[in-house]
Amino acid sequence: MDFDQADRVNQAIRLLSLRHRARTAELLAPLGLHPGQEALVLELARTGPMIQAKLSEALNIEPPSVTLMARKLEASGHLRRTPAPTDKRASVVELTDSGRALAGQLKRLWRALAEETVAGLSARKVQDLPGLLTTIAANVDTRHRR
Amino acid sequence: MDFDQADRVNQAIRLLSLRHRARTAELLAPLGLHPGQEALVLELARTGPMIQAKLSEALNIEPPSVTLMARKLEASGHLRRTPAPTDKRASVVELTDSGRALAGQLKRLWRALAEETVAGLSARKVQDLPGLLTTIAANVDTRHRR
DNA sequence: CGGCTAACGTTATCTGCATAAGGTTAGCCG
DNA sequence: CGGCTAACCTTATGCAGATAACGTTAGCCG
């Protein structure tokens, strides 16, 4: 592959990252959320209460990021952190009523964003898109390298 | 589109962003660069000296980001910022010899990353990928919205 | 049971990128 | 030529996310 072609690939990914995040920020702003936080709330809504280490793994972000984001979502009343009964090191995080209500809002918004994202694509391409993106994401995964 | 499908789309994009950036960081680290800076250097290598406002537009990032990133690349000796002769408000930024050498390294690395990214995809899909990503990036572009 | 390692979480610090606000200069228009 | 707007850059601040380093607890193993 020559440089121009490689650059097109890399730059397209970078641009998509920037724009998708910016659009997410725009949609999330009315809810008082910042991009990244929606993933945390949606994961808790999907899976239920869990330890922070689990969240870190589910979201593919590092534990310190979970600590800080959870602290902010706790401050805004959307979630609660309680010491784990079985393990004094761990802390369980779960949605509050406010957090569950927020998750409902998020789900609607999340569908709107996805529809906007794939606008104009054929049904086949829409169908294949998640798989395609997941594949190339796996290709550049930092962990299972050589 | 139902929520699960929408979530797959959005989450795939988020995951790709995280992983591609992480892999970029890993590859850039030996050169002493952080992700994002490579775009700046490559743009200067491609287009030549330019005003910061132009750079901001080319990279799709805001002017304050350019200021800070350029300051750091200047500190590490890869570029130089000189007052624009025709416009006292503007400052021209250009690569130094060290910066040009770095750009050469970057180009090789950039090709390797792209090849790694599209590994296992059919030639057709590789061919279509940049266009596809650019299309969906345009779909979520914040600016030309209603 | 004592000690060692591994896991959980936290704090500190760094980066990219964003918005808000402010100082200078360009450039136009009356 | 004076004033007004718009463009260029910068500083301050906030957020996500990363690493490094640290204290605390689990859990295993001699």
Q: Read out DSSP for B34-62?
A: -TTHHHHHHHHHHH-SEEHHHHHHHHT--
Residues in chain B with CB shorter than 8 Å from the CB of A18 are 60-61
User: Distance between CA A71 and CA A67 in Å, rounded?
Assistant: 6
Asked if A16 contacts B17 with a C-beta cutoff of 8 angstroms, the reply is yes
Tens-digit pLDDT profile for residues A81-117: 999 999 999 999 999 999 999 999 999 999 999 999 9
Asked whether the predicted pLDDT for residue A132 surpasses 50, the reply is yes
All domains in chain A, ordered by first residue = 3-138 (1.10.10.10)
pLDDT above 90 as % of chain A: 96
For residues B90-115, average pLDDT: 97
Q: Which two tokens stand for residue B107?
A: 């180009």
Q: Which chain B residue has the Cα nearest residue A134?
A: B12
Count of CB atoms within 10 A of residue B4's CB? 9
CB contact under 8 A, A140 and B117: yes
Q: Could you check: is the Cβ of residue A20 within 7 Å of any atom of nucleic acid strand D?
A: no
- Distance in Å, alpha carbon of B1 to nearest chain A alpha carbon: 7
- Using C1' positions and the CA of B37, the closest nucleotide is C16
Q: Which two tokens stand for residue B54?
A: 């132009």
Angle made by CA atoms B122, A140, A137, in degrees to the nearest 5: 70
- Distance in Å, alpha carbon of A95 to nearest chain B alpha carbon: 19
CB contact under 8 A, A20 and B135: no
Tens-digit pLDDT profile for residues B6-27: 999 999 999 999 999 999 999 9
Angstrom distance, B87 CA to D1 C1': 21
The DSSP result for B62-90, as a single string, is -HHHHHHHHHHHHHTTSEEEEE-SS-TT-
Tens-digit pLDDT profile for residues B20-66: 999 999 999 999 999 999 999 999 999 999 999 999 999 999 999 99
